[in-house]
Structure 1
Amino acid sequence: MKIIVLPLFRLPSGHHKAAEAIIEHITRLRPNAQIQTVDLLSYCHESLESVVSKMYMQWISKKPESYSKFYKSFIYTPDGKRSEQVPLHVWDKYFEFRLARFIEKERPDYIICTHSYPSKLLNHLKRQRKIDIPVINVYTDFFVSDVWGKRSIDYHFVPHLEAKKWLTKFGVPGNRIFITGIPVHPSFEVEHTLSEHRSILVAGGNSGLGHLEKLLNNLHLDSLSYTYKVLCGHNEKLREQIISMGNPRIQALPYMSSREEMNWHYEEASAIITKPGGITVSEVLEKELPVFIAGALPGQEEFNADYLKKRQLIYELHEYESVEKQITAIIESDIERNKWKKRLDMYRLEKEHTLESTLMNIFGKEPSSIPL
């Protein structure tokens, strides 16, 4: 069995984490499967990928309001009117052509999309009957953007029931939609045990876009009873800032490539402060850690936050109040913890299938055509 997995960009992202999670699950089912991960932009035009990713990072960091407006106008609209668009742009046609040639050359048995743009291109190629290989959409956020290909895509792995209902509005048959949750790497699928260690994880510093300065200053000026472990990733500036504080209750953690080490920090923590990225929040909810949000990046994280707040699965930190008092009011209250756990259980009950059972079910079937 040969499988192509299509994220987008080379920079670390939730799309790549989802791809890695899916690959690990497939490897457990089919150890001999040939799996290839391909960044479409780099494959088609390596220098273009570098330019586009740099422009994206600068846009969301320097002009977040502008990017947010763009996202709400062209990427995700409440009524989904931009869904199922026929590609009109020159670059869409170019990438379609290159993608079709690549698939013709590789002849995979399945294609898995963890980013909306390759899905959009494949949706159009399948609609034109230029390819007939089964395609699986694996959604990495708590909503379905307008860019994702829908009707001509063979299978959809969605995060929750609301997403399934949303897709059926666009004519996607319900038996092609599987509520699997956002993919979590098997390394994190370990029963959470309450630790006696009093630590709080702080994530979001890897890209330098988390705006953690105010949060850290707030913590530094407070009298802390918990140790705050900040995941700095490759952000040396943030790490140096924390070290210069000289506060033993605020510690900088370097980049860690080991999921086992990351899982250990999850197990040690009493809660996490993070941004509402689909993959990170899904990992943390898998560990049954209360999630506190200190801001969101423009675009998808705003919509993730909207959904998670509506379901009361996360708590929003207020800038001008003591961070620790806000956190301890939740995690040291048995009543509030139990209420949150019940909401989490209700969310989990929406899952109809595990990721591995769904993959096993699909791989065990002969490919079938999708109505146009």
Structure 2
Amino acid sequence: MKIIVLPLFRLSSGHHKAAEAVIEHISSIRPDAHIQTVDILSYCHESLESVVSKMYMQWISKKPESYSKFYKSFIYTPDGRRSEQMPLHVWDKYFEFRLARFIEKERPDYIICTHSYPSKLLNHLKRQKKVNVPVINVYTDFFVSDVWGKRHIDYHFVPHLEAKKWLVRLGVQTNRVYVTGIPVHPSFEVDHTHKKHRSILIAGGNSGLGQLEKVLHHLNNHSLSYTYKVLCGHNEKLRAQIEQLHNPRIKALPYMSSREEMNQFYEEASAIITKPGGITVSEVLEKELPVFISGALPGQEEFNADYLKKRELIYELTDHVPIEKQITSIIDSDIERNKWKKRLDQYSLEREQTLTMTLTAIFGKTSSSVPL
């Protein structure tokens, strides 16, 4: 069995993490599967991918209000009215042509999209009967943007029940939509054995975007009873800034390639401060860690935050009260933690079946695979 997985861009993102998680789940049930991950931008025009990704990063960092307005006007509309009327531009037709030729050459049995743009192209190709390979959308945010292909996509793996109802209203058959949750790598799906280390993780340092410096400045100016461990990734500038603080309660953690090591930090933490990215929040909720956010990047993170706040699954930090006081009012209170845990359990119960079970239902299972 041959499967092609389509994220977008080469830079590390939630789309790639989702792809890696799905691939690991598939490998556990179909070790015979040949799985190929392809960034369609790089495949079609390598230099174009570099230019587009750089423009995107500069746009959201230097003109966040502009990007937010663009996203709300052209990428996601609350009523989904643009879902089946997404315009096809000249470059879309070029990428469609190249993608169709690529599929014809590779002859996959299945295609999995973890980004909306390849899904949009495939939806149009399938509508024109130019591609007949089964396609799976794996959604990586807590909402469904208008760009995702919908009616002509064969399977949809959605984050929650509300997203399933949303797709059905837009004309997708209900038996094609599976509430699996946003994909989480199996490394994080282990028993919760939290240790009392009195530490709080801070994520989001790798990109250098967001309000992380503001948070660190605030923490450094207050007396702290918890140790704050900052995930710096490849951001050496941030790591140096933290070390220059000489604050024993604020520690810089370097890039971690090992998920097992990352899982250990999750297990040792009492809470996390992060941006509302779909994959990161899903990993953290899987670990049953209270999530605190300080701002959101323009675009999808804004809508993720809106949904998560509506379900009361995350807490938004304010400037009016010391950060640690806001956090400890939740994590040091059995009453508040139990309330949050009940909301989390209610959210988790919306999953109709696990991702592995859903993939098994679609792909089948080889006799040599690991039993479920």
The amino acid across from 1:209 in the alignment is L
In structure 1, the partner of 2:191 is 191
In structure 1, the partner of 2:85 is 85
- Kindly tell me: are residues 86 and 300 of structure 1, through their superposed partners in 2, closer, same or farther at Cα, counting changes over 3 Å? closer
CA contact (8 A) 1:125 1:131 kept: yes
Matches within 5 A, 1:110-149: 110-149=110-149
The amino acid across from 1:341 in the alignment is K
1:166 and 2:160 are equivalent in the alignment: no
In structure 2, the partner of 1:317 is 317
- Distance in 1 separating the partners of 2:13 and 2:88: 27
Shift of 1:196: 1.3
- Distance in 2 separating the partners of 1:86 and 1:207: 30
Matches within 5 A, 1:147-158: 147-158=147-158
In structure 1, the partner of 2:75 is 75
Matches within 5 A, 1:228-267: 228-267=228-267
SS at match of 1:270: strand
1:304 and 2:304 are equivalent in the alignment: yes
Shift of 1:191: 1.7
The amino acid across from 1:50 in the alignment is S
Shift of 1:88: 2.6
The amino acid across from 2:127 in the alignment is R
Shift of 1:236: 1.0
In structure 2, the partner of 1:37 is 37
Shift of 1:352: 0.1
- Distance in 1 separating the partners of 2:28 and 2:88: 40
- Kindly tell me: are residues 87 and 96 of structure 1, through their superposed partners in 2, closer, same or farther at Cα, counting changes over 3 Å? farther
The amino acid across from 2:162 in the alignment is E
The amino acid across from 1:288 in the alignment is E
SS at match of 2:356: helix
In structure 1, the partner of 2:99 is 99
TM-score scaled by structure 2? Answer: 0.97
- Distance in 2 separating the partners of 1:137 and 1:79: 20
Instruction: Percent identity, please.
Output: 83
Shift of 1:237: 1.1
The amino acid across from 1:314 in the alignment is I
In structure 1, the partner of 2:58 is 58
CA contact (8 A) 2:228 2:251 kept: yes
Shift of 1:84: 1.6
Matches within 5 A, 1:211-360: 211-360=211-360
- Distance in 1 separating the partners of 2:267 and 2:364: 36
- Distance in 2 separating the partners of 1:48 and 1:194: 45
In structure 1, the partner of 2:181 is 181
Shift of 1:86: 5.4
The amino acid across from 2:21 in the alignment is A
- Distance in 2 separating the partners of 1:185 and 1:303: 23
**What are the ranges of 5 or more consecutive residues in structure 2 without an aligned counterpart?**
366-372
Residue by residue over 1:33-89, the C-alpha shift from the partner in whole angstroms, topping out at 9 and shown as x without a partner, is 100000010000000000000000000000000000000000000111111235431
- Distance in 2 separating the partners of 1:92 and 1:215: 41
Shift of 1:214: 1.0
The amino acid across from 1:356 in the alignment is T
CA contact (8 A) 2:200 2:226 kept: yes
CA contact (8 A) 2:86 2:146 kept: no
1:201 and 2:201 are equivalent in the alignment: yes
- List, as ranges, runs of 4+ consecutive aligned residues in structure 1 with deviation greater than 2 Å: 85-88
SS at match of 2:132: coil
Moved more, 312-321 or 132-141: 312-321
- Distance in 2 separating the partners of 1:92 and 1:180: 30
